A and B are shown apart, each in its own frame.
Chain A
Amino acid sequence: MNETPQPNSFRAGPDEDGRFGIFGGRFVAETLMPLILDLQGEWEKAKNDPSFQKELADLGAHYIGRPSPLYFAERLTEHLGGAKIYFKREELNHTGSHKINNCIGQILLAKRMGKTRIIAETGAGQHGVASATVAARFGFPCVVYMGATDVQRQAPNVFRMKLLGAEVRPVTAGHGTLKDAMNEALRDWVTNVDDTYYLIGTAAGPHPYPEMVRDFQSVIGTEARAQLLEAEGRLPDVVIAAVGGGSNAIGIFHPFLDDKSVRIVGVEAGGRGLQGVDHCASITAGSPGVLHGNRTYLLQDGDGQILEGHSISAGLDYPGIGPEHSWLHSIGRAEYVPIMDDEALDAFQMLTRLEGIIPALEPSHALAEVIKRAPKMGKDEIILMNLSGRGDKDIFTVGKILGMEL
């Protein structure tokens, strides 16, 4: 692989072709190409339009509840006996996760573009709920593609989407998870090009999605950076976030990328272990390939067929990762580590008991990495973690594993 020389800034990408080093790009069917060029044009205009930015900020403050708090996890810090642990409380956002930040931004773009129908894919259902929510708020019909397996294990979110007026279409192809839902959403888009806006939920897909989703999610890191400077008068030593496609992670990482003293750690789903195929650790155990419009690290076999992967967390159950993460890994600016299902489950329980916060299983992976690192760090050091979603949706999954009747 071609290693990119260290750039002056880690925040300048992607280039005009949507590339982060060799990663990213626009690997889509010709039918979609004019659409993503249109989207790119509209996005360029919108991001420099003060009225767009103002509407985004107003909705952020009054609809999402921004800024989300930065919280010092005092008892967890005491319990672990090392670095001070701060959470960026994205789980307190409207709809219960960071996903709404991106959905609000994209629905405003859809409106600007005169689109009249929204489609989305979802894994855990957090992005589906956030999409259904903004579709309701702005009066768009909304179709959400969701793998049939995920429909089963994320029943509360399926019901929420239906309450919000969205149509949930279960996808039975493949293993019926996020990858298959994304394929089906792309098939819908290629069929309904004139009126439909595809609201991608993660920082992946063809350019400009990875850049655009990152920019909408960067509010997380921008706020956290200012909040921590105010609370502690300094930057964190480590920033940690869970990575599936990687939108919450790139959102909190990006504003810190040029702060050379800040270590950046992405946590991948190690599932049942990295030896077999029962994990979703695309960077740790995968290789570069092309899927869903971009070149990035993928779980694949020697013939370039995409593997299904596994994670206890539906939101991390994706065999790829956003291209900017692949680039940050390839140039060594960020490190990516795996956390196993059982470690995430332990972390989930620890946070619930020590801080009275029920985290989603996705950030429970990040938390498990915090639990490993904090005791080895000095008490004057600081870890910032993105608590990207709340765990209400996961209580049935967790209850089943812990053998509790619900």
Chain B
Amino acid sequence: MTARMDKRFAALKAEGRPALITYIMGGDPDFETSLGIMKALPDAGADLIELGMPFSDPMADGPAVQMAGQRALKGGQTLAKTLKLAASFRETDTETPIVMMGYYNPIYVYGVERFLDDVIASGIDGLIVVDLPPEMDDELCIPALAKGVNFIRLATPTTDDKRLPAVLKNTSGFVYYVSMNGITGSALPDPSLIGGAVKRIKGHTALPVCVGFGVKTADHAKAIGAAADGVVVGSAIVSQIAGSLTKDGKAGPDTVAAVATLVRGLATGVRAARLVAAE
């Protein structure tokens, strides 16, 4: 579904503020808790939801997201269940765009056509697949676009001006700018450098440019949001989940509330972002 995402970005533009995009790992630490967290996100101020598809070998992820994936897999999560998670969320929320994020192998094994049909049926709006660069577009990107599912591409500091057009060619929904060379959850780089990078990408595309990797606090969100159309927060949220669990790794009494509290703070950050920009 491209319409829901376009509508959300248009509304945010009218409101004059960047999007808060929150990442959770599907099924972390179990299906029901994960659904509870997902449902709490929009009220806490999340504008889009990235729903992680757990994978045994997440090569671009740091320890926080790696462990979230392991918790989810241990809790019995599968790709089919992650699709079901999105479908259950859609029963009560038809406005908040959902982007599924993960690695290609579980999708490949599930079957690309069947996956895309289920993505559409579950009300999912876009896909981010870390290990499918433009050189591999025939695998999933082209079939997804043909069915009206957004394929959101990552651009990185190593994506130079020569390469950017190839990266942006089949991208839709938004562009996810990875703020540094590295894995998820590393230290946030200098926000002033990010502003320049976003500008560079905007020179090549009219799509919203959202920035992630390293955003952990409301202040980060505010600083990054000043330059970007959206701020992605992932590792900080899954770490918040990890910190709320009982000793044996089960959901604690405050797991959902702990995530909501963090997200409310981040939402304050993005809402203050353009005030900074205007100063």
Report A385 CB to chain B, min CB distance, Å. 32
Q: Which residue of A33, A186, A291, A293 has the most chain B CB atoms within 10 A of its CB atom? A: A33
Chain A residues, CB < 8 A from B19? none
Q: A-contacting residues of B (Cβ < 8 Å)?
A: 54-62, 66, 73, 78-80, 103-110, 130-136, 153-160, 163, 167, 178, 181-183, 186
Whether the Cβ atoms of B104 and A179 lie closer than 8 Å is no
Say what secondary structure dominates the interface of chain A. Answer: mixed
Whether the Cβ atoms of A31 and B158 lie closer than 8 Å is yes
- Of A89-97, A220-228, A297-305, A353-361, the one touching chain B: A297-305
Let me know if A163 is at the binding interface, CB within 8 A: no
Whether the Cβ atoms of B60 and A303 lie closer than 8 Å is no
Whether the Cβ atoms of B182 and A190 lie closer than 8 Å is yes
Report B199 CB to chain A, min CB distance, Å. 19
Q: Which residue of B lies closest to A179 (CB)?
A: B57
Bound state CA distance, A192 and B186, in angstroms? Answer: 13
Bound state CA distance, A291 and B103, in angstroms? Answer: 9
Q: Which residue of A lies closest to B135 (CB)?
A: A26
Whether the Cβ atoms of A190 and B132 lie closer than 8 Å is no
Whether the Cβ atoms of A31 and B109 lie closer than 8 Å is no
Contact among B106, B135, B182 with A191 in the assembled complex (CB-CB below 8 Å): B182
Let me know if A34 is at the binding interface, CB within 8 A: yes
Complex interface residues of chain A between 28 and 54 (CB less than 8 A to chain B): 28-35
Q: B-contacting residues of A (Cβ < 8 Å)?
A: 17, 25-35, 173-174, 179, 183, 186-187, 190-194, 287, 289-293, 295, 298, 300, 302-306
Bound state CA distance, A298 and B157, in angstroms? Answer: 32
Whether the Cβ atoms of A303 and B163 lie closer than 8 Å is no
Whether the Cβ atoms of B106 and A27 lie closer than 8 Å is no
Q: Which residue of B57, B132, B134, B167 has the most chain A CB atoms within 10 A of its CB atom? A: B57
Bound state CA distance, A229 and B211, in angstroms? Answer: 61
Bound state CA distance, A290 and B102, in angstroms? Answer: 13
A31-B178, A304-B110 known; A26+B133 contact, CB < 8 A: yes
Chain A residues, CB < 8 A from B62? 187
Whether the Cβ atoms of A306 and B182 lie closer than 8 Å is no
Shortest Cβ-Cβ A-B pairs, 9 listed: A304-B109, A304-B106, A191-B182, A305-B56, A31-B156, A303-B78, A304-B105, A27-B131, A33-B133
Whether the Cβ atoms of A183 and B79 lie closer than 8 Å is no
